[in-house]
Chains A and B, each alone.
Chain A
């Protein structure tokens, strides 16, 4: 038994490192304490109608996706096609949260790449985004009809993550709560 001790230690270490390093990518993701909690209250202007303010409670009654993006954010450009697809084919409306952006830059970005969002809220100071625990754009939140954050994805969405994570999370919402698209 004693003879095998080094071998066993090595095997144990190898297994530990294999799983530890294999998960390295996911470890960067900070788990949000806001999951299954009420979304933070906000009151933000609409990007192209700055005088029109929208609050959290006005969006109650229908589940929606909230996609945090900015024109200065290259990974946002990367996921833009996926977000567009999601807005066209997906089961829920996709709202944008324009994070610490210049409205002109944001508009130009939308003109160039297309505007997939049903509504865009402008968070120029980044305060609402901090309340949402945003630490790097893009981020995508799934908010149910009662205003609870049910799922969050950090980083650019891919076809794979939409299929394997986001759509199942949407499907897991109570069907009674889900509004029509």
Chain B
């Protein structure tokens, strides 16, 4: 047991030493985007905004999650717009003017999105009505069903 420890010891040490360069490399990737915030409040607001904006390159990701270079540029634009004193609506409007409503993860309620917003409610009502009718028919004793039993 002790003999094995003696061999393991130096091996572990060498392995640990080999890992040191990795430590030196790793942080440089993260430092690729040195966004510095003036306050925790600003950071919070920034994070909330980029969560609600879509990355145009990888369209199922928001600006916060995306690694695409364009997402990085757009995050920078968002921060600049915030620092220019624009409120949330104005920051979003800045991107909508360039990329359309598509950049908004939460689409606005307007004539061409009624189906999107009200469709699920309609389907829920429709499904509810079908369930209600089916259940009632079973309870009242549907002739077809009674035949099966």
Contacts and interface: CB of A to CB of B under 8 A. Distances in A.
A78 B102 CA distance: 28
A100 B14 CA distance: 43
B59 A28 contact: yes
Interface in A21-37: 28, 30-34
Interface in A106-156: 126, 130-133, 135-136
Main secondary structure of the interface of A (DSSP, over half): loop
A130 B74 contact: yes
B56 A30 contact: yes
B96 interface: yes
Contacts of A132: 98
Nearest to B98: A133
A136 B70 CA distance: 8
B70 A33 contact: no
A136 B57 contact: yes
B119 to A, nearest CB: 13
Interface of A: 28, 30-34, 100, 126, 130-133, 135-136
Interface of B: 56-57, 59, 69-70, 73-74, 77, 96-100, 102
